[in-house]
A and B are shown apart, each in its own frame.
Chain A
């Protein structure tokens, strides 16, 4: 869907998506890194389980909701990636306690 520009010389760093190592760049948001990875990053909605990907990328639509380092319902488009970050694609509602 998206590719990186050859001009991008930002430092690569490693995040984990559902346990698999994925390369991101310093300064990416979680959502941008997921979309750039080419992986299937579709979440499932809390209401009907419909598949969704980020829609607005600016903190408005909440279609980027994702579990980051064990905390559910984070807006992936507002959180910058960090080395070793653990991302889980959220399927359905946030679970109690995470």
Chain B
């Protein structure tokens, strides 16, 4: 059995070992707080620095400088004195800051005086016809395999969608000798005009030169079709073809692998289950937690740092992590806060890292037809519920995502709405002529990842726990 938490209470528990979680843990531990970092993956890095301490990719320039930028923080967290547990699945968090965590098939409850949620982002659903076929994956999935196992596509491969990650992945696949037959760019032409007012800020951001160079590198080797406004995957039990339309042009191309990507959105499940207030973000088209300038949420003691607090990228995540940790130190051990970088400086750094975000959000705003599917396109992958099923339920009285569960079980499968929630909200909002904010989201509850009843039953109980449920 792997290591379970050594204590049953900590000053600070950080959940997620990506840029924000690593940065928060280092700050908290360096200021002398007892810190526990819990992470679901086999090693540190989150998604952006995934497998940074174990990747088989030896030629460093192939993954790029932004990837290796995480090495210092990983080093720092390991020497910080914080307790770090990987392959730990946090499945519960409540208003009393009690954390339920499963490690190696056994669960424990631990108490925190402060919690920093750094659960990051996940890829936005891309519900096109055929997206559940074997052979259709997210771009992030391919990047995960590339980083952690040195695996690259070698059959007929199509990448479709939009956004910075798509170009980075394409460049990485090509550098490692993988195959890409076509890139289908779904960026709407009108977005270019809408993004113009934000262009100056973006041009002065670190992403500008890097992004342009990467797109040039990819375009020199792969045929790119722009203005793609229809997309579907076909095959009998396995992907065989991809069909797209771009303007007057329509084409069906053979493909063994289709990689989809249209941006990332906050991973809200744990925060929502803890009761943190979220609002619909009209610019990023997703739910984001309501946080103050220190990352504090509506639940006393819970802060959110990194992309989980609204998408802003890796550099911003590091500063958000430091800001949240510094605020925790200020609250728990104010005399130690002076050891850390001043808040004003962290804010300045964060503002610089966030520069240009409005441009990216506007340019890469996913098109309506790729967010709100029609007909028999599957919306809920787990329960295999289609767009028409949902519209039928609306027609007979389903008012929102929570009522819809009773009609169709959407969001009640193992992924717990992670891959259908945004689609269901937007689809129902459109069908009912309401805003996404009015329609709302699934009411999420622990356990936010499935655990077995036997694991739950085996958790250590006090006599009071037993007396609370045992009769006579």
Fill in one digit per residue for B371-390: 1 if any A CB lies within 8 Å of its CB, else 0: 00000000001111000000
| Contact A47–B384 (Cβ < 8 Å) | yes
Q: Is B205's CB within 8 Å of the partner chain A?
A: no
The secondary-structure label for the interface of chain B is: loop
Contacts of A59 in B (CB 8 A): 40-41, 449
Contacts of B237 in A (CB 8 A): 42, 51
Smallest CB gap from B57: residue in A:
A7
Given contacts A62-B413, A73-B450, contact A57 B144 (CB under 8 A): yes
Partner of A62, one of B40, B149, B155, B414: B414
Given contacts A48-B384, A56-B122, A78-B87, contact A4 B134 (CB under 8 A): no
| Contact B140–A1 (Cβ < 8 Å) | no
Q: How large is the interface on B (under 10, 10 to 19, 20 to 34, 35 or more residues)?
A: 35 or more
Fill in one digit per residue for B284-302: 1 if any A CB lies within 8 Å of its CB, else 0: 0000000000000000000
Partner of B140, one of A3, A27, A57: A57
What total of chain A residues lie within 8 Å of the partner, measured CB to CB?
Answer: 41
Q: Is A53's CB within 8 Å of the partner chain B?
A: yes
Smallest CB gap from A33: residue in B:
B149
| Contact A1–B414 (Cβ < 8 Å) | no
| Contact B56–A8 (Cβ < 8 Å) | yes
Fill in one digit per residue for A13-53: 1 if any B CB lies within 8 Å of its CB, else 0: 00000000000010111001101100000100101101111
A1 to B152, CA, bound (A): 8
Given contacts A10-B56, A60-B418, contact A27 B148 (CB under 8 A): yes
| Contact A61–B150 (Cβ < 8 Å) | no
Partner of A3, one of B41, B56, B151, B238: B151
| Contact A52–B145 (Cβ < 8 Å) | no
Known contacts A1-B135, A58-B144; 6 additional CB pairs below 8 A are A3-B154, A8-B56, A28-B149, A32-B151, A48-B384, A61-B419
Q: What are 28 inter-chain pairs, A to B, with CB distance below 8 A?
A: A1-B135, A1-B154, A2-B257, A4-B151, A5-B57, A5-B150, A10-B56, A28-B148, A28-B149, A29-B42, A32-B145, A32-B148, A32-B151, A42-B238, A47-B413, A51-B134, A51-B237, A51-B238, A52-B132, A56-B122, A57-B140, A57-B144, A60-B415, A61-B419, A62-B413, A62-B414, A78-B40, A78-B87
